[in-house]
Chain A
Amino acid sequence: MRIAYFPGCTLSTKAKGFNDSARDSAKALGLELVDLEQWNCCGATFPLLTDNMLDLTGPARVLISGRQQGGRLVTACTICYNVLRRTNRVIRENEDGREKLNLFLEAEYKGDLEVLDLLQVLRDEVGFDKIWEAVKRPLDGLKVAAYYGCMVLRPPKEVAYEEDPENPCALDDLLAALGAEPVNYPYKGECCGAYLIVKSPQVAGELSYTILDSAQRNGAQLVVTNCPLCQFNLDRQQGLMGQRHAGFQPIPILYFTQLLGIALGLDSGDYGFEKHYIDPCSLLASRNLIAI
């Protein structure tokens, strides 16, 4: 199956490991991610004001480009997913907004592209049972905390593909299909601090700490995420957490696709593990999941 793919800025640079492992794993599962021929930044945040049409032009251009390449567009970056999906809804449901954007962009786009998240496609179209069959290197009871962040959960009516967005399970179910033991903990959908990192790193660090502390208290050895900003915040801020909270133990933060690629038996050599602040390699090697 071929599907149009929007990598986005961060996955093309800072989070290449997410991009490479996503493409790699999807391919191994018979899903070919075809890059959009033309794309630009999605804007990184969905503008929340009714009079801010200008910040919708970036994501609208991406959607128009996606529509020219077919009826569906998938992203791995969940921030891109959230921004594109919400922008698409504005174009579909807000007549005035649709007209303004189309006039500005010289287009006739109606909002009829389906914006999907990679995890959603893996669940609904590839199927976790098929993924389980394709697993060559089961994760063998590795205790992993699935961290969903905000972007695929809220606002539920606009972006969620979970039955209960307050208690999401898609990522947990995928981890179980890979042979890992998903850890249940109450902060899997709590905000990591997002762009507060730019203004108040210490406050953002406290938000991230709450999540990691909860995951570890419930036995997690590793956390997986679907968002490059969450990955950065949870990973980088651990130095600060160690200074502020006695007894805090570092924990590696991976993209779920990196773990998926490993479980599928793919070569994880170019998944960018060396770019992570907290080294995931010793844990993975100790479980014979990678060779170092």
Chain B
Amino acid sequence: MRVKLSSEALQSDFVKKVEEISGQDLLACNQCGKCSAGCPVAFAMDILPSQVIRLLQLGEVEEALNSEAIWFCAACQTCYTRCPRGVDLTRIMEALREMAMRERGDYLDIGAIPPEELAEFPQLAFIGGFRKYTS
């Protein structure tokens, strides 16, 4: 992938906002890939968890925001637990989800979930889901 770096992109308001609301230092990540290796949902993601943070490091915010990976993160905290640099990637994923929804609206249409399915779910499933996929 050919990437043109510019200081504007690297220090854009968006990148600063992600750092601010996630409370994480994006440059602390040295791309060791341990998060991607341990992520139980990586198989379903379009890009790996470590690539999400790499895109942000390079200022490629649109690509990070458009990735499906941010919606597959289940916040299980395995990445954070194993990160040798102490980066909490689950918080960065949540920041991206939140910013995507602040811009574009809800990710999940609750009305589209069949009522019989909703009736079956325990509260923890749908409240958790609504908190992560709606704003």
Contact = CB atoms under 8 A, between A and B. Distances in A.
Co-assembled chains A and B: yes
B27 interface: no
A66 interface: no
Interface string B6-37: 00000000000000111100000000000000
B122 A15 contact: yes
Contacts of A200: 44, 72
Interface in A183-206: 190-191, 193-200, 203, 206
Contacts of A243: none
Interface stretch (B46-54, B57-65, B73-81): B73-81
Interface stretch (A38-46, A127-135, A245-253): A38-46
Contacts of A190: 40, 76, 78
Contacts of A233: 125
Contacts of B125: 194-195, 197-198, 229, 232-233
Interface in B94-135: 94-95, 98, 108, 113, 120-133
Interface string A195-238: 11111100100110010000000000000000011001100100
A156 B78 CA distance: 10
B76 A154 contact: yes
Contact of A48 (B43, B94, B133): B94
Given A155-B81, A191-B40, A232-B125, A45 B132 contact: yes
Contact of A207 (B40, B98, B120): B40
Contacts of A48: 22, 75, 88, 90-91, 94-95
A192 to B, nearest CB: 9
Contacts of A263: none
Q: Is the interface of A mostly helix, strand, loop or mixed?
A: loop
A228 B131 contact: no
A206 B44 CA distance: 10
A69 to B, nearest CB: 23
A191 B74 contact: yes
B129 A198 contact: yes
Nearest to B131: A45
A280 to B, nearest CB: 18
Going nearest first, the 7 A-B pairs with the smallest beta carbon separation are A198-B129, A195-B128, A191-B76, A154-B77, A44-B127, A48-B94, A195-B129
Interface of B: 20-23, 40-41, 43-44, 71-72, 74-78, 80-81, 88, 90-91, 94-95, 98, 108, 113, 120-133
11 contacts: A9-B127, A45-B128, A47-B131, A52-B98, A150-B77, A166-B81, A190-B78, A195-B124, A206-B43, A232-B122, A233-B125
Interface of A: 9-10, 13-15, 41, 43-45, 47-52, 55, 77, 79, 150, 153-156, 165-166, 190-191, 193-200, 203, 206-207, 210, 228-229, 232-233, 236
